[in-house]
């Protein structure tokens, strides 16, 4: 059963997000010298985001802790001919604990988030898909993004 996360879930949300970075690997997601306090900073951000109306964090419980989570945010961008209201949704940090995979948790969370995006009148929802998750997202109607994506990272970050 999918439910909205609460402050009591923050330690488990941090644990699951760390699993996600482990799965993604590579120097960008798992740098050799990570910021020591990134988990504490993440916990503080979760605490703030749980109370914001343009963020929804959905979870599935396990016998102990959480089996899965997914984060949705809506940002106000500038409207244009391709985006009548400029409200763009983002799916961030979809992750299922390895012991609970292949049970439909991600699909259930995604369906909950897609309903939430519709309620908030998002004109588009963006996400970055792992190779394992891409078939699920395509099955739910996601397609290749029309914009090329580039990334800039300040040398001091």
CATH number of the structural domain spanning residue 104: 3.40.630.30
Least confident of 3-12, 27-36, 68-77, 116-125: 27-36
Domain presence at residue 6 = yes
> In terms of residue numbers, what domain contains 130?
2-31+38-139
More confident residue, 82 or 121: 121
Domain presence at residue 156 = no
More confident residue, 129 or 33: 129
Domain presence at residue 154 = no
pTM for this one?
A: 0.88
pLDDT for the residue numbered 24: 57
User: Looking at the predicted structure, is the pLDDT value of residue 127 above 90?
Assistant: yes
Domain presence at residue 75 = yes
The CA distance from 107 to 125, in Å, is 15
User: Looking at the predicted structure, is the pLDDT value of residue 26 above 70?
Assistant: no
Tally of structural domains, the chain: 1
Q: Cβ distance 68 to 105 under 8 Å?
A: yes
User: Looking at the predicted structure, is the pLDDT value of residue 133 above 80?
Assistant: yes
pLDDT for the residue numbered 77: 94
What average pLDDT does the structure give for the chain?
Answer: 89
Radius of gyration of the chain (CA): 16
Going by C-alpha positions, the residue among 135, 49, 19 that lies closest to residue 58 is 49
């Amino acid at each position: 059963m999918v439910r909205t996360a609460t402050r009591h879930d923050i330690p488990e949300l941090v644990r699951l997000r760390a699993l996600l970075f482990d799965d993604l690997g590579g120097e960008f997601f798992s740098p050799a010298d990570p910021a020591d306090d990134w988990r504490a900073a993440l916990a503080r951000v979760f605490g703030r985001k749980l109370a914001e109306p343009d963020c929804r964090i959905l979870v599935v419980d396990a016998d102990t802790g959480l089996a899965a989570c997914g984060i949705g945010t809506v940002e106000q961008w500038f409207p244009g001919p391709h985006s009548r209201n400029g409200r763009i949704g983002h799916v961030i940090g979809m992750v299922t604990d390895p012991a609970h995979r292949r049970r439909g948790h991600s699909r259930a969370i995604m369906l909950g988030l897609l309903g939430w995006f519709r309620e908030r009148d998002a004109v588009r929802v963006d996400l970055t898909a792992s190779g394992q998750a891409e078939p699920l997202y395509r099955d739910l109607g996601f397609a290749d993004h029309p914009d090329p994506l580039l990334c800039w990272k300040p040398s001091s970050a």
